[in-house]
Amino acid sequence: MGWNMRRKEYSKDYNRPDYGLRDDKGHWKPPYPCGYAPLFSEKFKLKNLFKFLFGWDGYLFPRTFGYILLAVGTYFILHNEIANFVGLSLWFIFHMFLRNLAMAVIVYSAYHLYLYTFKKEGNHKKYHPEWLHKDAKKFLFNNQLKDNIFRTLVVGVPVWTAYEVLYVTLFAKGKLPFLAFYDNPVWFVVLLLIVPIIREAHFYWIHKILHTPFMMKHVHIKHHLNVNPGPWSGLSMHPVETIGYFSAALITFIIPSHPIHMFLFMQHAGLTPAYSHTGFEGPHAKGLWPSGQYFHYLHHKHVACNFGGPGVPWDKWFGIFYNGEGKFKYKKVKLIDRK
């Protein structure tokens, strides 16, 4: 959830070359502080909540609704294989993997090609003054993009696929609680709609664990090497972190749910990082496509703040929220070779 109340106020100025502010080191920031969804806004208004829920670049459209359609489509494509499942086969696993691989390549590449290869936005609204590192020993292959792509496709997508394969196997054997649409259509739909909220809560607490000294030094550091993130940085993680990150979907192993809910959890987790790690403030394409998340970029920049997301104010409740305005007041976290 990347919707920002203040961003709407500046919509007419998106494409002005002097939009936003750059400091003396070239770092860019938007002309407004990042904030939370209208329900948790200090200046709550019912009409803003309505716009947030149903407006473009809001809670439902375009991403949540798009993910729901994708999950529904995935289920119906795989329906026969799930209904007639007799046991694991290499073809079934490969089929699941290939589908996830294709989705990841299409989504992550689309953002990268538009912003970094063809540079359609130039450096307009780019948070960090530099482009991706091409000669840095801290990355695999001494190259940030190659490192990020490798970790996404060789680690991220297989872990994503493994969760789905495990779910389908247990589901087909009748070992998981099941919720059919006709049994409780209201809860079926509600569960679909609150997947982003559940995922954000899960992400916050998993993220806090990853920032404990041992996990930060040995696991989460791989993700935080991307001080200057690009779209492919989003799912670029240590294997242990990847397993924890995708574990949000385990809720469908516990509560009555449908395979559509499982696919939604996995696809939301697998594809959303491309949007939140673009390294640019959106929207793009002359204001048509919402993208970028200054909230999470501030975490990559300062490390000790903004562990959750801009939907539910977990960070604010625990006193570690930074909106990008004024001097950063929290304890600096020094990590080796993060330049």
pLDDT at residue 98 greater than cutoff 60: yes
- 124 pLDDT band, cuts 50/70/90, is very high
Q: Quick one: CA dihedral 255, 256, 258, 261, positive or negative?
A: negative
**How far apart (Å, rounded) are the C-alpha atoms in residues 28 and 16?**
14
Instruction: State in Å, rounded, how far the first CA of the chain is from the last one.
Output: 28
**How far apart (Å, rounded) are the C-alpha atoms in residues 295 and 36?**
9
**Any bridge partners for residue 284, and if so which?**
289
Higher pLDDT, 6 or 307: 307
Across the range 43-71, mean pLDDT stands at 91
Helix (H, G, I), strand (E, B) or coil at 175: coil
CA neighbor of 311 nearest in space, from 52, 126, 54, 30: 52
* Beta strands, E only, the chain: 21-22, 28-29
State the residue for tokens 């019912």.
Answer: 46
pLDDT at 221: 97
pLDDT at 10: 58
Express as a percent the part of the chain with pLDDT over 70: 94
What φ, ψ does residue 92 adopt, rounded to 5°? -60, -45
Integer Rg of the chain from CA: 20
Q: Which two tokens stand for residue 92?
A: 């079934």
Based on the number of CB atoms within 10 Å of its own CB, is 187 exposed (0-12), middle (13-18) or buried (19 or more)?
middle
pTM, 2 dp: 0.93
